[in-house]
Chain A
Amino acid sequence: MLHNKNEDYIASVNNYVSGFNDNSFRKLAGKDFKSWPDPLEETWRLSRLGTLARKKIEPIKINFDKSVKSNLNTIGSNIIKFFDGAYREDISSKLPIGVSLKELNETESLSYLSKIKNTNLKNHPSTNASLSCTPSIIKLSVDKNTKILDLIEIHYEGGEESLSVHPVLFIELNENSSLSIIERFNHLGSLIMPLQLIDIKDSASLNSIKIFDDNHKSYNLSAHCVFLSQKSVLNSFSLVKGSQFTRSETHAYLNGKNSKLNLNGVYISGDKQHHDLTTAIYHNVPECVSKQSVRGILGGESTGVFQGKVRVAPNAQKTDGQQMSKAILISDKASANAKPELEIYADDVVCAHGATVGELDDDQLFYLSSRGITKDKARLMLIKAFLKDIINESVEEALHDFIFKEAQFSLSSILKNDLVV
């Protein structure tokens, strides 16, 4: 008998929410989860979910008594742990004064749903599936006028074969506060669907680092929705190296004057991995700045995708929007796709994007060779420099080494397999 490829997971999500009230946020979200994105849909053309749709997966059932084994070392002492997509207070540490963590109640969850539904992430599969199946929406918030100096680490672990996990977060920085977080995704499971709403109020600032390092058989479909108010700042850096298929999609709405966004990322891909960084930046008000820099290193038979859209609304004069993507192919069978898109409706703006795909710079290689360095060594040096460059530019100094090590680990594994061409 033919296996009905598409409806398995969809049906199991719908089955999951069937017991809930019709007006509950879960049921409302589940109602919109009708199918996986069509491969003909413009934003999914380069990252098709056909193979995922054919897999038999269902949402994980949370067991808070399950004993938890962590594979992650910690950097500092402020750790928040998610396991199987659920927040685990029992293994998380205490948080600094001024930072609070709580579960949203039904009313608050409904309002969370309506906020996301007003954005262009409204039909993202993770939005609908995760709001249907999440154990609960967890809100991390920083009080007004509070600057948190300690790094907060969030670990996402757990997951199992043929099951999906749904960590859903609401990060709120109140007026004039600041926070630095590092999030690490380290699941075993088949399908990881994190959803985040990040609300940065006036004059607040968030430094955010994400490391995607889930099991190499898994799918990670992440969706992040960011609101920036007046004079707020978000510095975001993503390192994508795990999963069979990772797509991290970020939509940032610059809604307050003089807000500032740095949205950088690196993907390191080998084997048959598929890594996709998709961003959409909406300049809705005048005088905001957005900078994006994305780099990719592709080995094996991997595929990299960068899709970035900068939209400048009619009145958003004096916008400064810059976007740069660079990818290096180090194997014959790897490929890279880029779609840096500008959509501009205001005239007094400075917007530019650039994209390059190719191999290492011949002149640089020659320069190194002329100094007696072997070809392989020279290539390695340049690839490392390519990585180091963006890491140093994107994350705070104290974390340079940590992030670089994380990157290098994946780098050496893909370089081992690839005779560098």
Chain B
Amino acid sequence: MVATQETIDKVKEVANTYKYGFVTELESEKAPLGLNEDIVRFISSKKNEPEWLLEWRLKAYRKWLTMKEPNWAMVNFPKINFQDIYYYSAPKVKPKLNSLDEVDPELLKTYEKLGIPIKEQEMLAGVAVDYVFDSISVATTFRDKLAKEGIIFCPISEAVQNHPDLVKKYIGSVIPMGDNYYAALNSAVFTDGSFVYVPKGVKCPMELSTYFRINEQNSGQFERTLIIVEDNSYVSYLEGCTAPQRDENQLHAAVVELVAMNDAEIKYSTVQNWYPGDKDGIGGIYNFVTKRGNCLGHRSKISWTQVETGSAITWKYPSCILRGDNSVGEFYSVAVANNFQQADTGTKMIHIGKNTKSTIISKGISAGKAQNTYRGQVQIQKNAKGSRNFTQCDSLLIGDECGAHTVPYINQHTPSARVEHEATTSKISEDQLFYCLQRGLDTEQATSLIVNGFCKEVMKELPMEFAVEAQKLIGISLEGSVG
């Protein structure tokens, strides 16, 4: 949609007025409470965005207004008041630092408490970390090394400035702005996130990683991530989240888009540990995420691995569109729900190209009064001859007050393809527990061991340093659930 000169002028005018009118807000780096077109303009102008992006955001916003919140997931929560959320806030740190030394020491301290020793990670793990604190990236490292390979790894707000053609070409290309309610909202108000571009024939020499944190009270977090990997290239991307305790529910509606060209491979791993709420189900993050990868090229491969232990409510279906012939989609998931947590998560594998393959391994663990649902769709379209899917979904119940649900959708439209789905539900048997106790392990150790055994097929897909962290997390998440 091309904006008329009149609109452009008007937007400029409005943006300028608000810039002016928001002087105090600007100091606190926060937009006023609530959402309307002016807020969308405010965010866009804060980011110094080009016209087309503002137009795109406004279009998404208008689309969002016409949409309804999805209600098919097995989750219950009070209606969200979208006017009671701050859509833009930035930490009081000057962006674009040259080195980590310039980062607010308070911020560094918080990371330390969370057990994320920045320097150590930098040096030991060889990980380039793009920290997102609330909405703005405050530090980016290892850029030189990546730049040498021609890899772009930067905040998406920066990519908008420096690589507008790439962003314009691919943003919304995998997840259209009106794809679903939360994706539309994100498209209108996203503040920042990561951008990765790997040129042809480059294997990214290190794992790219971003740690997300929600900190500011009442600030919705709307990250937007876009990863494009060209022919014959490879990248592994890690995303980890931790959030401090707090009572008010917070909305987190991220969008992640992946594009893989011919023979390209993207591995996307997530450890999600947002605040799950307390033992009585008070507080916690609402995690409503849209993640989708487009295997656009022949023989391309996209692999999602997720360990979901946090959030009060998880609504998340990292998916693959297998468009290129012989492309491969994978989804490995562990979802732990304890106390009053509700998780409705799974994947969609849409087979379009010939001989496409997908594998889904999902392990759900429910404890306390939690509800855990696997929801997944496997669709084999007419031309996806010779395609294969294998799905294995296992649920483990700990205690008799929780629920485990499996809702697979299989749509098969071509005879030469094959879809297989298996699901089981079980509990930790008394025999297994006693066997471990008899060997001197306490109940928690034993539970953690058995649960981690149950999840092993998924955990082995995680990069090493992540796997260790994830394993600990699962143990911690289930503390007090047995015995």
The chain A residues found within 8 Å of chain B, CB to CB, are 42, 314-315, 317, 327-332, 334-359, 421
Return the CB mask of B167-211 against A: 1 if under 8 Å, else 0: 000000000000000000000000000000000000000000000
User: Is B402 located at the chain interface by the 8 A CB criterion?
Assistant: yes
**Complex partner residue of B410 from A331, A336, A347, CB under 8 angstroms:** A336
* Nearest CB in chain B: distance from A236 CB, A: 23
A314 to chain B, nearest CB (A): 7
The segment from B219-227, B229-237, B296-304, B422-430 that touches chain A is B422-430
B314 within 8 A of A: no
Nearest opposing residue in chain A for B375, CB measure = A341
Q: How far is the CA of A349 from the CA of B427 in the complex (A)?
A: 8
> Chain A contacts of B410 at CB under 8 A?
336-339, 355, 357
- Top 9 A-B pairs, shortest CB-CB distance: A358-B418, A329-B415, A347-B397, A357-B412, A335-B413, A338-B410, A342-B406, A351-B425, A355-B421
- Closest partner residue, chain A, to B409 (CB atom): A339
Contact between B424 and A339 (Cβ–Cβ < 8 Å)?
A: no
Instruction: Flag if A343 contacts B405 (CB, 8 Å).
Output: yes
Decide yes or no: A342 and B415 within 8 Å by CB, A347-B398, A347-B402 being known contacts: no
CA distance A341 to B406 in the complex (A): 5
What are 13 A-B residue pairs whose CB atoms fall within 8 Å in the complex? Answer: A329-B414, A338-B408, A338-B410, A340-B406, A340-B423, A344-B395, A346-B400, A347-B397, A347-B402, A353-B422, A354-B423, A357-B418, A359-B415
With a 10 A CB-CB cut-off, give which of B395, B400, B410, B427 has the most chain A CB atoms: B410
B77 contacts partner chain A, Cβ-Cβ < 8 Å? no
- Shortest distance between the CB of B354 and any CB in chain A (Å): 14
Q: Is the CB of A343 within 8 A of B403?
A: yes
List of B residues within 8 angstroms of A343 by Cβ: 403, 405
| B interface residues with partner A (beta carbon < 8 Å) | 72, 380, 382, 395, 397-427
Cβ of B404 to closest chain A Cβ, rounded Å: 5
Residue in chain B with minimal CB distance to A341: B407
Does A337 lie within 8 Å of B415, measured CB to CB?
Answer: no
- Residues in B with CB closer than 8 Å to A351 are 424-425
CB contacts (< 8 Å) of B413 on chain A: these are: 335
Contact of A345 (CB < 8 Å), options: B403, B406, B423: B403
CA separation between A271 and B395, bound complex, in Å?
Answer: 39
Are B423 and A353 interface neighbours, CB within 8 A? yes
Bound-state CA distance A16–B394 (Å) is: 51
Question: Are A355 and B403 within 8 A (Cβ)?
Answer: no
Contact of A330 among B403, B411, B415, B419 (CB under 8 A): B415
A341 vs B403: C-alpha distance when bound (angstroms): 13
Q: Which of A314, A336, A354 contacts B421 (CB 8 A)?
A: A354
Chain A residues with CB under 8 A of B415: 328-332, 334, 358-359, 421
Question: Taking CB as reference atom, which chain A residue is nearest B387?
Answer: A358
The residue of chain B having its C-beta at the shortest distance from the C-beta of A298 within the complex is B415
Contact of B411 with A317 in the complex, beta carbons under 8 Å? no
Given contacts A314-B400, A317-B400, A342-B423, A353 and B412 within 8 Å (CB-CB): no
- Whole-angstrom CA separation of A87 from B111 in the bound complex: 77
CA gap between A359 and B414 in the complex, in Å:
9
Interchain CB contact under 8 A, A421 and B416: yes
**B400–A347 CB distance below 8 A:** yes
Complex formed: what's the CA distance from A147 to B424 in Å? 37
| B405–A341 touching, CB < 8 Å | yes
Min CB gap B424→A, angstroms: 5
Q: Which of B72, B399, B411, B418 contacts A42 (CB 8 A)?
A: B72
Contacting pair B418 A337 (CB below 8 A):
no
Whether A344 and B425, one on each chain, are in contact in the complex, defined by CB atoms closer than 8 angstroms, is: yes
Cα distance, A347 to B404, chains bound together (Å) = 9
Contacts A329-B414, A346-B400, A357-B412 given; 19 further ones with Cβ under 8 A?
A315-B400, A317-B400, A334-B415, A337-B410, A337-B411, A340-B406, A340-B408, A342-B425, A344-B395, A346-B397, A347-B402, A349-B397, A349-B425, A352-B423, A353-B422, A356-B418, A356-B420, A359-B418, A421-B415
Kindly report which residue of chain A lies nearest to residue B405, judged by CB atoms: A343
Cβ contact of B411, chosen from A332, A335, A342, A359, cutoff 8 A: A335
In the complex, which residues of chain A have a beta carbon less than 8 angstroms from the beta carbon of B414?
329, 332, 335
Assembly CA distance A346 to B395 (angstroms):
12
- Cα–Cα, bound, A151→B21 (Å): 86
A174–B410 Cα gap in the complex (Å)? 40
List residues of chain A with CB within 8 A of the CB of B427. 347-349
Chain A residues with CB under 8 Å of B395's CB are 342, 344
Q: Which residues of B contact A339 (CB under 8 A)?
A: 407-410
What is the CA–CA distance of A264 and B408 in the complex, to the nearest angstrom?
Answer: 20
Residues in B with CB closer than 8 Å to A315 are: 400
B397: chain A residues within 8 A (beta carbon): 344, 346-347, 349
Instruction: Give CA–CA (A86, B416) in the complex, Å.
Output: 46
Report A-chain residues with C-beta under 8 Å of the C-beta of B382.
332
User: Which B residues are in CB contact (< 8 Å) with A331?
Assistant: 415
For residue B430, which residue of chain A has the nearest CB? A348
Partner of A358, one of B403, B407, B419, B424: B419
**In the complex, which residues of chain B have a beta carbon less than 8 angstroms from the beta carbon of A42?**
72
Nearest B-chain residue to A317, judged by Cβ: B400
Min CB gap A282→B, angstroms: 14
Considering the chains assembled together, what is the distance between the CA atoms of A159 and B196 in angstroms? 65
The CA-CA distance from A314 to B397 in the complex, in Å, is: 12
In the assembled complex, the CB of B137 is this many whole angstroms from the nearest CB of chain A, namely 40
Which residue of B is nearest A337, CB measured?
B411
B369 to chain A, nearest CB (A): 10
With A and B bound together, what is the CA distance between A174 and B400 in angstroms? 34
> B409 contacts A353, CB within 8 Å?
no
Closest to B381 in A: A335
Q: How far is the CA of A278 from the CA of B99 in the complex (A)?
A: 61
A344 — which chain B residues lie within 8 A by C-beta? Answer: 395, 397, 403-405, 425
Q: In the complex the two chains form, is A358's CB within 8 Å of B417's CB?
A: yes
Q: Is the CB of B425 within 8 A of A355?
A: no
**A346 surroundings in chain B (CB, below 8 A):** 397, 400
Question: In the complex, what's the smallest C-beta–C-beta distance from B407 to chain A, in angstroms?
Answer: 5
